[in-house]
Amino acid sequence: MIVMKFGGTSVESASAIERVASIVRERAERRPVVVVSAMGKTTNKLLAIANAAISGSRASYIAQIHDLRDFHSREARLVVPLADRAELDRTLDDHFQELTELVKGLAVLGELTPRSIDAISSYGERLSSYIVSLAFAHFGMKAVHVDSRRLIVTDRRHTQAAPLYDETYARLAATIPPLAKDRIVVLGGFIGATENGVTTTLGRGGSDFTASIVGAGIRAEEIQIWTDVDGMLTCDPTILVGGHRVKIISFAEAAELAYFGAKVLHPATVIPAVEKNIPVLILNSRRPAVEGTRIVADPVRTANTVKSIACKRKITVVNIHSTRMLMAHGFLKRIFDVFERFETPVDMVATSEVSVSLTIDNSQRLAEICAELRQFSEVSIEESQAIVCLVGENIRYTPGVAARVFRSLESVNIRMISQGASLLNLSFVVAEADLKRAVEALHREFFAQLDPGVFDRNGAADAAA
């Protein structure tokens, strides 16, 4: 068995779903289990409906619900067999009636709780997975729809739920393999439920995570993440066009890239796959002939020092200074206790005897954090910063990497630099205004020559050069 996950852009319309059906049909002999995201921007639309309700805009949320139902009905009817239209209409009616009642309740309460956010945002995947399963039948494949909430058991941390792996794996192993013997199983990603059956979600981007959990639970031979790019690239295409495709990369490198901003992969995706040693493939549903990127457990030998450059924008640097803490133990503990109390993760840290600089990407509670820090230190803030992260297994073995970085960026002010916490990366902070220039310079430095066994050179980049 294989797991095939298709993102929102891969199922955003009837024509996109038809393309997905063709891709799945070509791999039918491998007994695919299909995980899908919500169609297009449905999750955003559902949250907009919820916000309209709590703000008292009844006419707005009713109109938005009707528009969303019309969208799903219009696209579904183009790919659902005539014999299934009545069932489709009944199911859509049931789901949207249920959604309407839920939203009316929110309007009365005037409050959007994490539990209600999960309940409302779950409808996107519940609808898309049902529609895709009917579409597969239209395109000549036997398919069965399974509600992921029956299988993915989570804790009660709404909007960021964590799977209860033992129970989840047991349910997956008991349910999916018998169904997959002669049918294509279709599930919605992103959603789960507590042991008491209350709907939860795994966080935005959680459909990748669902695919990995399902793959681990059924011991799949591989997990395929189908998206709208050709795989992992040597740089973020939104910052620098012309990056080269990375053919193969280790789990450790992929996790570093995902954490530091590579949008192709959800950071948590690799965890279940690593534990079960299941390869993960990143593929393009619009260009299925492209081999994509293969993520494997063991380090991948290459002549290149760096595999890819990841970036994280909208970073805030917090500088903390206190001469009173000179030679005093517990300075760092006091600092990190504050960030823990306000549930704000820290990305990078640089320290001296009496100063600490660190970065955060969530400044929602920054004012409260600074107020507490100022009780024992001086604090300054630098906003509109970006983290640039060079990732590669060879960084740990190659002398002079930092010298090459500084030489490439001699005209760019580097605000912070970090290496050592992970032997796979070298990270530093620059102003967002300097980000594109920094990435261009580093890409020229580290990817002028490419190992053909690991990289597929972008011909457009060559032409530009």
Domain boundaries, the chain: 2-228, 308-464
Q: In what order do the strands lie in the sheet with 355-360?
A: 349-351, 355-360, 308-321, 378-391, 425-431, 416-419
Range with lowest mean pLDDT among 7-21, 270-284, 325-339: 325-339
Question: How many whole angstroms separate alpha carbon 246 and alpha carbon 235?
Answer: 10
Give mean pLDDT, residues 178-199: 97
Question: How many whole angstroms separate alpha carbon 337 and alpha carbon 328?
Answer: 16
Backbone angles phi, psi at 409, to 5 degrees: -110, 30
Query: How far is CA 131 from each of CA 39, 74, 87, 125, rounded to the nearest angstrom?
Result: 10, 11, 11, 10
Say what percent of the chain tops pLDDT 70. 96
Angle, helices 42-54 vs 114-121, to 10°: value is 130
Give mean pLDDT, residues 153-169: 96
Q: What is the pLDDT of residue 259?
A: 78
**Cα–Cα–Cα angle for 260, 266, 271, rounded to 5 degrees:** 100
Structure tokens of 7? Answer: 């993102």
Q: What is the pLDDT of residue 201?
A: 97
Which of 101, 130, 128 has its CA nearest to residue 116? Answer: 101
C-beta contacts of 371-376 below 8 A and 24+ residues apart? 372/338, 372/341, 372/342, 373/318, 373/320, 373/335, 373/338, 376/322, 376/324, 376/325, 376/334
Residues 6+ apart with CB under 8 A from 2: 27, 30, 31, 32, 33, 220, 221, 222, 223, 224
pLDDT-derived band of residue 281, with 50, 70 and 90 as boundaries?
A: very high
Question: How many whole angstroms separate alpha carbon 402 and alpha carbon 441?
Answer: 14
Q: How many CA atoms lie within 13 A of 154 on its CB side?
A: 25
DSSP string across 127-139 = HHHHHHHHHHHHT
Q: What is the pLDDT of residue 69?
A: 97
Pick the CATH number of 2-228 from 3.40.50.300, 3.30.429.10, 2.70.98.50, 3.40.1160.10: 3.40.1160.10
Q: Is the pLDDT of residue 53 over 70?
A: yes
**H or E segment to which residue 318 belongs:** strand 308-321
Structure tokens of 5? Answer: 């996950």
Give mean pLDDT, residues 14-20: 97
pLDDT-derived band of residue 203, with 50, 70 and 90 as boundaries?
A: confident
The domain made up of 308-464 is a member of CATH 3.30.2130.10: yes
Structure tokens of 300? Answer: 């991948």
Question: How many whole angstroms separate alpha carbon 14 and alpha carbon 241?
Answer: 29
Give mean pLDDT, residues 109-129: 96
Question: How many whole angstroms separate alpha carbon 32 and alpha carbon 2?
Answer: 5
Q: Is the pLDDT of residue 186 over 50?
A: yes
Q: Is the pLDDT of residue 407 over 90?
A: yes
Q: What is the pLDDT of residue 459?
A: 59
Q: Is the pLDDT of residue 350 over 50?
A: yes
Which of 71-75, 407-411, 414-418 has the highest mean predicted lDDT (pLDDT)?
71-75
Q: What is the pLDDT of residue 325?
A: 61
Range with lowest mean pLDDT among 83-87, 245-249, 261-265, 390-394: 261-265
Q: What is the pLDDT of residue 327?
A: 52
Q: Return the higher-pLDDT residue of 228 and 118.
A: 118
pLDDT-derived band of residue 355, with 50, 70 and 90 as boundaries?
A: confident
Q: Is the pLDDT of residue 142 over 90?
A: yes
Q: Is the pLDDT of residue 205 over 90?
A: no
Q: What is the pLDDT of residue 326?
A: 54
Q: 346-359 b/e with 16+ CB inside 10 Å = b?
A: ebbebeeebbbbbb
Say what percent of the chain tops pLDDT 90. 80
Give Dmax (Cα) for the chain. Answer: 78
With contact defined as beta carbons under 8 Å apart, do 139 and 107 qualify?
no
Q: What is the pLDDT of residue 271?
A: 84
Which of 256, 162, 253 has its CA nearest to residue 200? Answer: 162
Give mean pLDDT, residues 374-386: 95
Q: Is the pLDDT of residue 460 over 50?
A: no
pLDDT in tens, 442-455: 999 999 999 999 99
Backbone angles phi, psi at 54, to 5 degrees: -75, -20
Q: In what order do the strands lie in the sheet with 2-6?
A: 143-146, 184-188, 32-36, 2-6, 222-227, 280-284, 293-296, 248-250
Average pLDDT of the residues of the chain: 92
Q: What is the pLDDT of residue 354?
A: 80
DSSP string across 191-210 = EEE-TT--EEE--TTHHHHH
Which of 10-19, 393-402, 409-418 has the highest mean predicted lDDT (pLDDT)?
10-19
Range with lowest mean pLDDT among 14-28, 44-58, 198-212: 198-212
Give mean pLDDT, residues 106-113: 92
Backbone angles phi, psi at 206, to 5 degrees: -70, -5
Q: Is the pLDDT of residue 207 over 60?
A: yes
Q: Is the pLDDT of residue 462 over 50?
A: no
Q: What is the pLDDT of residue 419?
A: 73
Question: How many whole angstroms separate alpha carbon 28 and alpha carbon 223?
Answer: 15
**H or E segment to which residue 85 belongs:** helix 85-109
Q: What is the pLDDT of residue 422?
A: 63
Residues 6+ apart with CB under 8 A from 276: 215, 216, 219
